[in-house]
Structure 1
Amino acid sequence: MMKRAWGMFQGVVANVFVALFSITCIFPIIWMIYSSLKTDKEFSLNILSLPAKPEFGNYSRAITEGRIGSYFMNSMFNTLSALVVVLVISFITGYCISRFRFKGRTFIYYMFLSGMLIPIYALLIPIFVEFKTLGLLNKKFTLILPYIAFALPTGVFLVESSVESVPIEVEEAACIDGSSFLNTMFRIVMPMCKPVLSTVAILTFLHTWNEFPLALVLIRSNALKTMPIGLTNFVGSYTVNYPLMLAALVVSTLPVVIMYLLFYNQIMKGMTAGAVKG
């Protein structure tokens, strides 16, 4: 009886701990949303209180005065462009490394893995010098190139692990039925890798959407700045308009939250599939 009571007590304590931890994760988002509806005076008097009257004008001011709309579209263009290229190259490369045995295969695979270990800050100066020499600074596609390069190692690693778990007999049966190589690769194997491809898509989206240092170093034109850089416009030399900045943060965070909620299950399945090699 005592053992059962102790087990129930442990379960209650664990659930309470998880609930409190969940609240600490959710509250900052809730606070950011209702604080973005305050006036600057209300926020200065009490940062935790609810707004007396919702000030939705903060969002229109953030879009017009802070040019958040332009920065949003720049970030979306960079993110979606990098996302499509990363998904295609990751799948093709991961499939080839998993299925074919050729000279240099192991070297190529470990070269991709080593890319996961290199911090972005260590490459800021070399990338800036290289882009300046090649005349690639302040272009529409400037940020897409490094975004693809930094996202590929993780994508190739996850896809290679996922393809390795797909039985080769599936492809052999498709070949016997008359399916071409490309048809088998993209219409049979690729759908079976959907969970891990969804994970690659989410990770790439999060990385490129929130990326700050490369956007700060490689882009100088105000017309090409991204959301993380655009948020700094709300910070003055001596003052910060927090409600406006929080309204811009809500706009910036919304795509990430929506994608995470839509593909939460795929993320969990993909990470599990990529974590263990078959």
Structure 2
Amino acid sequence: MRKVSSFGKTIMNTALLIFSLSAVFPIVWMLYSSFKTQQEFTLNIFALPKNWNLENYIEAFKIGQLHNYFFNSVYVSLISVFLIIFLAFIIGYMIARHDFPGRRIIYILFLFGMLIPIHGLLVPIFIEFKNVGLLNKPYTLILPYVAFGLPIAIFLFESFIKQIPKEIEEAAIMDGCNTFQVIFRVIFPIAGPVIATATILSFLTAWNEFPFALVLIQDPALRTLPVGLTNFNGQYTVNYPQMMAAMSVTVLPVLLVYLAFSKKIIQGMTAGAVKG
């Protein structure tokens, strides 16, 4: 039995190792390919570069205007995340802690937002934005990003706050805290794991979003990174090393944020799952 168990563990570990390598290799391949010349890449797409140089990165920023797209993505993502966290925390707290008429209906309506096929609303939103003059504005993408990011964030906050004992708030009130202080100086720090989770999920969604950024923004000066990457495709040829340099710049912030807070995502997603 021990031999069978040991053999099974070996097979499982080998399978997990292969799966991990298959997931990591594309990112590693993209990173080292970004330092190759077009000729080197054409001759052997898997070989390491003979001379590591930053020419592709320089060209991506100089010719491809990557810095403009990067700034636009940072601007849209950060503002969207801030609004999502602030609004979702307040709404989630009110739904979790206060019993008022229509509370359950409001909560259910927000939950329905997670069931709506977001990109199925692309055409109606484009028509509506065009009619009210909201296309090609610095805040154009922030509006749909916040609207579509609120449901999951409210769900996470409401589920987490319900598990926080009310006695903590009562003790804070007895110590002289007002409602504002209770919410932002007592509950907000306790909700750290779910705040980190909602922040990361909202950031990743806003940073990587493509269809809305493509349709709602026609001004090249306001385009975000996912749309800006399409400029590296030529009419007949593609400079793959240069494109991979641009992709590396795009992916690197996401990887750093995820690696730094991956444990927080698990804590926030499982918060409130077990009562005891």
For Structure 1 versus Structure 2, the TM-score category normalised by the shorter chain is over 0.9
Counterpart of 1:136 in structure 2 is 134
Is the 2:163–2:272 contact (alpha carbons within 8 Å) kept by the matching residues of 1?
Answer: no
Is 1:100–2:72 an aligned residue pair? Answer: no
Is 1:150–2:153 an aligned residue pair? Answer: no
Counterpart of 2:73 in structure 1 is 75
Counterpart of 1:114 in structure 2 is 112
Structure 1 outlier segments of 4+, above 6 Å: none
AA paired with 1:45? Answer: L
Counterpart of 2:58 in structure 1 is 60
Is the 1:42–1:51 contact (alpha carbons within 8 Å) kept by the matching residues of 2?
Answer: yes
Is the 1:79–1:208 contact (alpha carbons within 8 Å) kept by the matching residues of 2?
Answer: yes
Counterpart of 2:261 in structure 1 is 263
AA paired with 1:139? Answer: K
Q: Which moved more, 1:19-28 or 1:65-74?
A: 19-28
Is the 2:35–2:53 contact (alpha carbons within 8 Å) kept by the matching residues of 1?
Answer: yes
1:177/1:215 CA distance change after superposition, 3 Å:
same
Is the 1:40–1:241 contact (alpha carbons within 8 Å) kept by the matching residues of 2?
Answer: yes
AA paired with 1:71? Answer: Y
Alignment of 1:208-219 (within 5 A): 208-219=206-217
Residues 155-206 of structure 1: CA deviation (Å, up to 9, x unaligned): 0000000001101111111111211111111111111110011000000000
Is the 2:225–2:250 contact (alpha carbons within 8 Å) kept by the matching residues of 1?
Answer: yes
| Structure 2 unaligned residues grouped into runs of 5+ | none
Residue 72 of structure 1: how far off its partner (Å): 0.1
Counterpart of 1:240 in structure 2 is 238
Residue 111 of structure 1: how far off its partner (Å): 0.8
- TM-score normalised by structure 1 residue count: 0.97
Percent sequence identity over matched residues?
Answer: 51
C-alpha distance in 2 between matches for 1:251 and 1:119: 30
Residue 277 of structure 1: how far off its partner (Å): 7.8
Residues 6-44 of structure 1: CA deviation (Å, up to 9, x unaligned): 112212211111111111111111000000011111111
C-alpha distance in 2 between matches for 1:220 and 1:260: 30
Q: How many residues of Structure 1 are paired with residues of Structure 2 in the alignment?
A: 276
C-alpha distance in 1 between matches for 2:163 and 2:23: 34
Residue 55 of structure 1: how far off its partner (Å): 2.6
C-alpha distance in 2 between matches for 1:120 and 1:128: 13
Residue 275 of structure 1: how far off its partner (Å): 5.0
C-alpha distance in 1 between matches for 2:249 and 2:236: 25
Alignment of 1:150-169 (within 5 A): 150-169=148-167
1:57/1:117 CA distance change after superposition, 3 Å:
same
AA paired with 1:165? Answer: Q
Is 1:254–2:252 an aligned residue pair? Answer: yes
| Structure 1 unaligned residues grouped into runs of 5+ | none
Is the 1:161–1:276 contact (alpha carbons within 8 Å) kept by the matching residues of 2?
Answer: no
Is the 1:164–1:277 contact (alpha carbons within 8 Å) kept by the matching residues of 2?
Answer: no
Is the 1:159–1:274 contact (alpha carbons within 8 Å) kept by the matching residues of 2?
Answer: no
Is the 2:194–2:271 contact (alpha carbons within 8 Å) kept by the matching residues of 1?
Answer: yes
Coordinate RMSD, CA, aligned: 1.2
Q: Which moved more, 1:44-53 or 1:91-100?
A: 44-53
Alignment partner of 2:84 out of 83, 86, 89 = 86
